[in-house]
Amino acid sequence: MSTRTVRRVVVVGAGITGLSAAHRLMVDRPRLEVVVLEASPSPGGKLVTNTFAGLPVDEGADSFLVRVPWAVDLCAELGISDELVAPSARSASLWLDDRLRPIPSGSVFGLPLDPGSVQPGLLSDEDLARLAGPGLPAEPLSAGDGPAGDLSIGEVIRSCAGQAVLERLVDPLLGGINAGLADDMSCAAMAPQFLRAARSDEGLLATLRLAMAEADPDAPIFNGHPAGMSHLTETLAGRLGDRIRTGRRVTSISRLGDRWSVGTDDGAEEADAVVVTAPAFVAAPLVEEVCPTAGAALGGIRHASVSLAAIAYRRSDLEVPYDQSGFLVPRGSDMLMTACSFAGSKWSHLDDGEHTVLRVSAGRIDDDRALHMDDAELVAVLRRDLAATLGVKADPAEVKVKRWPDSLAQFPVGHRRQMAEMVLALGQDAPGLYVTGSAHNGVGIPACVRSGNEAAFAVSEFLG
Ligand SMILES: Cc1cc2nc3c(=O)[nH]c(=O)nc-3n(C[C@H](O)[C@H](O)[C@H](O)COP(=O)(O)OP(=O)(O)OC[C@H]3O[C@@H](n4cnc5c(N)ncnc54)[C@H](O)[C@@H]3O)c2cc1C
């Protein structure tokens, strides 16, 4: 360990994970020198808000889950909790059987806990009868992957609630989170409450019903910010000040005695500890030489690409229901669109009384058609889908396309175990080097804040 009195930590990447890690270190360990190296000209990563149709519209994430603590606690610490807003519209629909059908109220990731909440015709009588029961697995669930016993969400739901519930409700909802496939998704990583409940003696549905009975049905599930989600990263960046160095792409990480050398396009930075928060496919080549296990684990993580079009219509051309936040389109439909968010109904700060702003998404792990279309073609196909679903044929007032290639990490069965093994290997091969980010605890903003915090605690412990 270095005998220098001021220890230096380099954080790679200034998205929400890197900014959270750096902020935690700055607050908890004020004597440390913290430097954040960011490749792009500005911090924020995937939290981007821009003016569209005169309104602050998010081009990526527009809200975060408030039923888990990490982002909520960070906002409290930053003094911006009072500014947060809940969506005005909470009900959403699914495009099924050529019409919009409401997602059953009180469902968990689309899994209805009360068959009475399911719109007639959406499921068969047999499916509904099963949903009225405890949700015991048809066959005992397999031990799964290793000691953690992970299973795919598809396997759990199919076994406890049936194929139709999986295909028509749960896969579309969960697929909306990371553009993935429920049959390939780790239940332990993405929906641990399902795994625990499915393995209980009481059954999946009975256990979830009990848990939901304790939750406040009126408590908000998500929060956003009237200035857009980039307000969170801008506030963090403001606190970190000149600790953030933009336009500094990290190209290598190597040992320098008992310290680290972080190479960039513009010279090297020395550090006692390094936290890499760039996407897994960027981190993999940076760490593979010093820790081949970590390099291989990170390099094997798949990412889905998504495209998001903001489309504004004049109110006279399209008005969407005020009590609806939007709809999802399950795979297997002939549409390119995967989701349509009614931004002005969802957020009062995006309702100017003149326009209806839609945020329309395309792209899944098994569908990269949107990536191969130019903007004009993509918008034309999405407008065809909007005509089929909402009946709107008028020309939009304004359109903006944002591409997010390789943006959403996938969590296959056994993902948690693999990440734990990677942390162990890094500890052995490369003490003082930490890798985290959206591929670790989850892609959502709270999970990223948690990942940043955990990396900061690990650095603190390492530096003593
Ligand atoms: C379209 C879309 C919608 C989403 N919606 C939601 C939502 O509503 N709610 C929610 O909770 N989550 C949502 N997410 C997920 C969430 O936004 C992301 O998972 C999260 O912002 C990722 O943060 P991060 O810091 O881990 O990674 P990033 O934001 O990717 O940050 C990584 C940073 O590293 C930098 N970098 C890369 N390479 C280098 C290098 N070599 N050297 C230095 N810097 C480098 C990048 O420029 C970037 O700034 C959405 C994601 C997308 C794509």
Domain annotation for the chain: domains and CATH numbers:
8-45+227-301+411-463 (3.50.50.60), 92-214 (1.10.3110.10), 304-409 (3.90.660.20)
Q: Which atom of ligand 1 is nearest to the CA of 18?
A: 25
Q: Torsion angle, CA of 38/42/46/47, rounded to 10 degrees?
A: 130
pLDDT band at residue 147 under the 50/70/90 scheme: very low
Q: How far is the CA of 231 from the centre of ligand 1 (A)?
A: 15
Distances 178 to 67, 356, 388, 420, 439 between C-alpha atoms, Å: 18, 26, 25, 21, 11
Higher model confidence: residue 250 or residue 2? Answer: 250
Give the model confidence (pLDDT) of 322-354 as tens digits: 899 999 999 989 999 999 999 999 999 999 999
Task: Kindly tell me if the per-residue pLDDT of 2 is higher than 70.
Answer: no
Q: Which atom of ligand 1 is nearest to the CA of 13?
A: 34
Q: Is the CB of 14 under 6 A from ligand 1?
A: yes
Give the model confidence (pLDDT) of 200-245 as tens digits: 999 999 999 999 988 887 888 999 999 999 999 999 999 999 999 9
Mutational pocket test of ligand 1: of 246, 443, 451, the residue with most ligand atoms within 8 Å of the beta carbon: 443
Q: Which atom of ligand 1 is nearest to the CA of 439?
A: 26
Higher model confidence: residue 10 or residue 141? Answer: 10
Q: How far is the CA of 179 from the centre of ligand 1 (A)?
A: 15
Give the model confidence (pLDDT) of 383-410 as tens digits: 999 999 999 999 999 999 999 999 999 9
Q: Which atom of ligand 1 is nearest to the CA of 19?
A: 25
Report pTM.
0.96
Q: Is the dihedral of CA 67, 68, 74, 76 positive or negative?
A: positive
Give CA–CA dist 344/89, Å, rounded: 9
Give CA–CA dist 173/176, Å, rounded: 5
> What pLDDT does residue 204 have?
97
Q: How far is the CA of 427 from the centre of ligand 1 (A)?
A: 25
As given in the structure block, the two tokens for residue 61 are 């994430």
